[in-house]
Amino acid sequence: MTGKSHITPLFDPLCGWCYGASPLLAQLAAVPDLTITLAPTGLFSDSGARSMDERFAAFAWSNDQRIGSLTGQRFSDLYRSQVLATGGMLDSAPATLALTAVALTAPKHELDALRYIQEARYISGRDVTDMSELQNVLASVGLGAAAPRLASPDSDLLAANRERMASARALMREFAVNGVPD
């Protein structure tokens, strides 16, 4: 008799390497008797957030091209022109909160939500650091119960989000992990 196996991927929704690994996560999700619990680390939130200046945008695009060549994942020109070149922020706090809202309202669809958010950014060139944009993404893919929670995050959502990131960061410390994906 075999038991159920479990995997806890440490990730950040705005991490290019995490997006590069997303097809592997999708394959793992299809494995019978394997459960996946997403662990958002908040790597690019709070003190890890940064402005997307021209130099960092060029650095990110260069890395994204390498990730794309190694994984086959697409990083579009829309992403380059509408996300990287706009001088906005690299801040994963809104996308992480959106994933927590999905985890609370439709937990079986959190991995799908991560994919939708990543594709909105990297393929469609949408600003997933903007809460209203994230609401639109979630609503457009049938995760409408999570979308309104982003408009006015309640204490339960905020507490769950903090707990998820704290747990993920504790795993990073426990296993001496300095970055994601892992």
DSSP string, 128-145: TTSHHHHHHHHHHTT-TT
Q: For the domain that residue 151 is a member of, what is the CATH number?
A: 3.40.30.10
164: in domain: yes
Whole-number mean pLDDT of the chain? 95
Taking 60 as the threshold, does the pLDDT of residue 1 lie above it?
Answer: no
Taking 70 as the threshold, does the pLDDT of residue 181 lie above it?
Answer: no
Taking 80 as the threshold, does the pLDDT of residue 84 lie above it?
Answer: yes
Positive or negative, the CA dihedral 108, 109, 110, 115 is positive
- The share of the chain scoring above pLDDT 90, in percent, equals 92
179: in domain: no
182: in domain: no
Give residue 36's domain range: 5-174
65: in domain: yes
Q: Within the chain, what is the greatest distance between any pair of CA atoms?
A: 56
Q: Domains in the chain: how many in total?
A: 1
| The predicted structure's pLDDT at residue 94 | 98
180: in domain: no
